Structure 1
């Protein structure tokens, strides 16, 4: 973490230095030849880095200025030459007309070089742009673009470059566009690489689009079909091209555009099979299952393939059953989630007996219960609005010098994916932008009603910062290993997801509901019997962290947690907490690291070191006369129990696991859940059986099974899946 803090400090200093150039022109402008050479060097370096590491290289991206997207039409803006741009400035009311002259490169953003009609050249970096497709096709060499309200800045290397964070600020222009035609280019006639397309016949458009579709190049197919539709074609050809384009649009999840194509086909051919079927699929993609059912029922009446229609109808009815009743086949969902490293499950969201309500001026909105609920009752099963997995991002560090926030990998990429989702389907903007984005956004209205749609990237990023969740296998029953147990900062390599309804749940370290995950589905269950009108609360942070670290995690939300744990922690002196934290950090960086690297080596020494740390932590609690929530002991005790097992000392191992259960107050109304609890119970059960204490093991397991109603599936099935093999191999414990 220190490395990132230092990097952030350097980035902030660079910003301060850059501000001295605000409003000035760069002292030297690069020639076209120099830009081409520089671009090629960077391109070769990125290629070499990726080949050397065998994966995407580590990159950083630094945001030094947040600014809104342009909401004005291009026709209302005034053209400005590249030579008239000034540094560290967003040029409001202006646009740059330019054409690309190199093939693009991509690290985090897309980098290219552009030339304006006067022959001036500059580098251009595009962020959050066309992340759902091959960047080389998104902005190839030779196309003409307009950059609305261009932002001109000093790069990290000290040069000058255009930067565009908002994809809607980039407008692709055809060479026949009036804005382009009225311009004389110093470099000669502005010929597009796609000019040859204008001579194609309708049949050629269709065949070329179909060829792209079969190759999986759906964006190319959409572009080709669109050119065909825009040409003066007969109505029959337009119908075919629209239907084909709808099929391609479904593939890239542009469901609303696909619906529009299907509607226009149905206006002239009300019984068109393909249009009805693709309408149903588009509604399904938008999770509008009632509309999908209507369309698919209509399709089943006209379809030649009745089997396909019946399969699709069953699928839609299954989703409606989940959505309306909150009943899921958990075994199927768990199996589906395990099939992929990046699971995106085909299941519906369920909203149980909860509603959004205004809680207080400090908290804002929250979720309250509309009826009495029992412990373990399903309150929400929410499919991720968007999710990003670490294997999909490479290693990227995102630095924002204005907010002082640092994100890594999946969490940083999540906002870009949501921007693309909102551009693909603008109707999704309203429920998303209803989420809290920080105090500075409260009195403002996001630009969500423009045509074409405009999305404020930085507003999206603010919402993600306030509402995203780290997605694990399960917060209650993790396949936890100590490599992750001590990795306590937000720069982890976990998946990051945005879930709409759960985002309204406010924080307390000791919540009355708890979340877990199956794939990209978040499951929220009640931790206790709760009466109607109760506000749902869950922890935004790991309660195993010390007070200062927990407060740091929730600081951006602008409130102070007053749960019992935080009150107890604040009652202690800061020196006491620091003693505890220092002991734990020394243990995790030294003793634990040695044990992890060599689990069987020097066990007696490792055990003594761990006992010393535990003794130090226990003394801090004794010195402050604190009896409850001694949770800083949990992780060292968990490791100690594992060491005793490795050394063959089952008696001490049993005592250690029992101590963990006591700290968690397991089996009582005040029980708390951490990542240490279930592994400790599993190990204790195993030790009981290995030492012929069968009855104690059975009683403990039955008590655990009763408590597991709060886990994802509402019962013990996940626990059984995770631990059955170990128990069966050791003691034939499970039936």
Structure 2
């Protein structure tokens, strides 16, 4: 499932706190002292009312579980009983907000309990779609199993609510509210609440509108009034992106009359927002049965059918879609195609993805729309934006939990309850530390488009973070059988070699480092596994002495190559001979019995350097020889005899037992070979190299693109 989401202009904040034993505060500030300090902060806030709100960073080493209890199943205690650095398991507090909120990484308010005790309450990780993101003065809230912390300075404490489901906004008539805090309803008649909701809606205060319509529904016994209230709340929830609630409200608004077309229409729009296109189609067909001439229903229906066709066929107009993208709009209106694959238990790591049919090189393996991806390409903010968005969507659309919470979240310092996503007190349980673990283990960094990312003019580091649930089940291999690319929030995976039905499908998690111990340390630190792909397994057969030799020679040849850079200057023959001699020593350090059909990654840098050096001196024969070496070092089967007849496209299309690594550098090498062969008078072979380069560029970028955009 995926939902349309806005940009999130945030950055991670937070400091790690040292563990402290629970203690009774030495001195608590009075209510008057708390309000005086709080009002000072409010005045400062008023000088920058539109400043972006940062996101509090979850520190996994300090993780604690979200409460799974109902507020009615815990012991309500006074604020004076709170112990510093305690989570107060099995207990809760009910307080009235007695100040406006100070809005920073969270919403900080001064609160008071039924006994007149006052303290600070900091609520983090709430959605802008929720009143709890900035609780108005006078509201009554309940906090389950409150976490009371020292706030940095002497005698400064606060109740810290990290898990958004640990705090509940209580209705004013809720019988759990103590008598001394009870205000009674602000409005008594359902019609008054409805009018208040209409006013809030017109003022674009949508969270308040939802609250008012909910109060109106609770206040009325008039069954004739309820359908219109459900309709209004459904429409407001659609605006907020609360598609689960919008769908439920739409269906609840039905009366059995012909006017139910609007209920089915709104339910269809909500299902579309969740990318549940089959369900959307059913709802819209019901709407059309009741209102056949409505152009709005027909438009939505046709749009839904287009998504279903994409899901069924995997046919997309990628060139047209890419023109609709810009950094402010990365969400393409496209469906996901995953029929070629299935998720199953993997012999490698947990779950994996397997082919449901034979797939040829270059064919689409899958296309998936991101379940979650914010419009945030600023590197310092991308991770925070995805974290915040994930929390928001798990709160607003609990149905997402079914797929997202199945993903691996890494090792926690406590056992997951298994109740995450369960509705308690009307709110789905959201554990922010689990969310952060899921983000760290499963997100991808994505450029706006991979096509643009291959061009030298593309800004460095401008990548968003996204979560693609289906692809997150795909395991890593350094020499995978697929290659992924991005187009906005769409991930495209194509086969880089023949894949048989039932075969496990692999991807690269990160660009592969040349030395096996270095890259496997990265996998161990990042994901907790050691790679057993064909390359890594083969290289483990190499001796420690051979590995040490390759490390030494690799460092030496890289240092030598870095002294002079081809393209910036004409490389002297003496420098070329020195690099060539060292590269041959490095080549000899690769055991033939191990590397005959494996990539030789430590040789790629020097062979690429030699291509550039010979090109600068217009030594076309040596340039062609170095270009073939580049392909060989990536693992591709190329003829050793420079005069042998061969078709470069065969390195992709002909089935082979060679382990190959496909990157943009392979495309560049094929273009250089075309240039060399063209200057040697081998026009036919040069054309075949361009054909192979175009095929490789399609693998890299996800669809056929013009090679001329690449810098030669």
Q: Indicate yes or no: 2:228 matched with 1:231.
A: no
Corresponding residue number in structure 2 for 1:146: 142
SS in 2 for 1:536: strand
Corresponding residue number in structure 2 for 1:161: 158
Corresponding residue number in structure 1 for 2:21: 22
**CA deviation string 1:364-401 (max 9, x = no partner):** 2212223222122222211111113434x884xxxxxx
Corresponding residue number in structure 2 for 1:419: 391
**CA deviation string 1:267-321 (max 9, x = no partner):** 4546423212111111222222222222212322333753223222211111111
Pick closer, same or farther for the CA change 1:102–1:684 going to 2, 3 Å. farther
Pick closer, same or farther for the CA change 1:271–1:695 going to 2, 3 Å. same
Is the contact made by 1:333 and 1:345 (CA closer than 8 Å) also made in structure 2?
yes
Corresponding residue number in structure 1 for 2:437: 462
Shift, 1:27, TM fit = 3.0
**CA deviation string 1:467-498 (max 9, x = no partner):** 2222234568833549988xxxxxx6622222
**CA deviation string 1:175-204 (max 9, x = no partner):** 43323242x36xxxx659xx65x15662x5
Corresponding residue number in structure 2 for 1:383: 369
Choose which of 316, 319, 340 in structure 2 pairs with 1:353: 340
> Hey, what's the Cα distance between the residues in 1 that align with 2:446 and 2:432?
23
Corresponding residue number in structure 1 for 2:502: 533
Is the contact made by 1:634 and 1:676 (CA closer than 8 Å) also made in structure 2?
no
Pick closer, same or farther for the CA change 1:129–1:293 going to 2, 3 Å. same
> Hey, what's the Cα distance between the residues in 2 that align with 1:455 and 1:125?
17
Q: How does 1:314-325 map to 2 (within 5 A)?
A: 314-325=302-313
SS in 2 for 1:382: strand
Shift, 1:423, TM fit = 2.2
Which structure 1 segments of 5+ residues have no match?
A: 1-7, 396-408, 486-491, 731-735
> Hey, what's the Cα distance between the residues in 2 that align with 1:228 and 1:292?
29
SS in 1 for 2:354: strand
Choose which of 710, 723, 732 in structure 1 pairs with 2:699: 710
Is the contact made by 1:614 and 1:633 (CA closer than 8 Å) also made in structure 2?
no
Corresponding residue number in structure 2 for 1:479: 454
Pick closer, same or farther for the CA change 1:724–1:575 going to 2, 3 Å. closer
Is the contact made by 1:254 and 1:424 (CA closer than 8 Å) also made in structure 2?
yes
Choose which of 212, 220, 226 in structure 1 pairs with 2:208: 220
Corresponding residue number in structure 1 for 2:408: 436
Pick closer, same or farther for the CA change 1:107–1:273 going to 2, 3 Å. same
Corresponding residue number in structure 2 for 1:344: 331
Which structure 2 segments of 5+ residues have no match?
A: 1-11, 637-647
Is the contact made by 1:175 and 1:181 (CA closer than 8 Å) also made in structure 2?
no
Corresponding residue number in structure 2 for 1:676: 665
SS in 2 for 1:531: coil
Shift, 1:149, TM fit = 0.3
Corresponding residue number in structure 2 for 1:72: 69
Shift, 1:147, TM fit = 1.0
Corresponding residue number in structure 1 for 2:175: 178
Shift, 1:174, TM fit = 3.3
Is the contact made by 1:476 and 1:678 (CA closer than 8 Å) also made in structure 2?
no
Pick closer, same or farther for the CA change 1:156–1:607 going to 2, 3 Å. farther
Shift, 1:169, TM fit = 0.6
Q: Indicate yes or no: 2:360 matched with 1:374.
A: yes
The alignment of Structure 1 onto Structure 2 pairs a total of residues equal to 668
Is the contact made by 2:550 and 2:602 (CA closer than 8 Å) also made in structure 1?
no
Corresponding residue number in structure 2 for 1:543: 512
Q: How does 1:546-625 map to 2 (within 5 A)?
A: 546-555=515-524, 556-567=526-537, 570=540, 571=542, 575=548, 579=552, 622-623=588-589
* TM-score for the superposition, normalised by structure 2: 0.80
> Hey, what's the Cα distance between the residues in 1 that align with 2:242 and 2:54?
31
Is the contact made by 1:610 and 1:636 (CA closer than 8 Å) also made in structure 2?
no
> Hey, what's the Cα distance between the residues in 2 that align with 1:376 and 1:423?
39
**CA deviation string 1:433-479 (max 9, x = no partner):** 22233466999633333343222332233333222222234568833
Corresponding residue number in structure 1 for 2:92: 95
Pick closer, same or farther for the CA change 1:525–1:91 going to 2, 3 Å. same
Choose which of 245, 252, 255 in structure 1 pairs with 2:243: 255
> Hey, what's the Cα distance between the residues in 2 that align with 1:496 and 1:348?
20
Structure with greater helix percent: 1
Q: Indicate yes or no: 2:650 matched with 1:663.
A: no
SS in 2 for 1:386: coil
Is the contact made by 2:107 and 2:134 (CA closer than 8 Å) also made in structure 1?
no
SS in 2 for 1:90: coil
Shift, 1:695, TM fit = 5.2
Pick closer, same or farther for the CA change 1:644–1:523 going to 2, 3 Å. same
Corresponding residue number in structure 2 for 1:399: none
Shift, 1:609, TM fit = 10
Shift, 1:74, TM fit = 1.0
Is the contact made by 2:84 and 2:150 (CA closer than 8 Å) also made in structure 1?
yes
Corresponding residue number in structure 2 for 1:501: 470
SS in 2 for 1:266: coil
Pick closer, same or farther for the CA change 1:423–1:135 going to 2, 3 Å. closer
Is the contact made by 1:265 and 1:275 (CA closer than 8 Å) also made in structure 2?
yes
> Hey, what's the Cα distance between the residues in 2 that align with 1:86 and 1:92?
12
**CA deviation string 1:72-93 (max 9, x = no partner):** 2111211223332222221111
Pick closer, same or farther for the CA change 1:528–1:176 going to 2, 3 Å. same
> Hey, what's the Cα distance between the residues in 2 that align with 1:114 and 1:617?
71
Is the contact made by 2:456 and 2:710 (CA closer than 8 Å) also made in structure 1?
no
> Hey, what's the Cα distance between the residues in 1 that align with 2:492 and 2:352?
17
Corresponding residue number in structure 2 for 1:301: 289
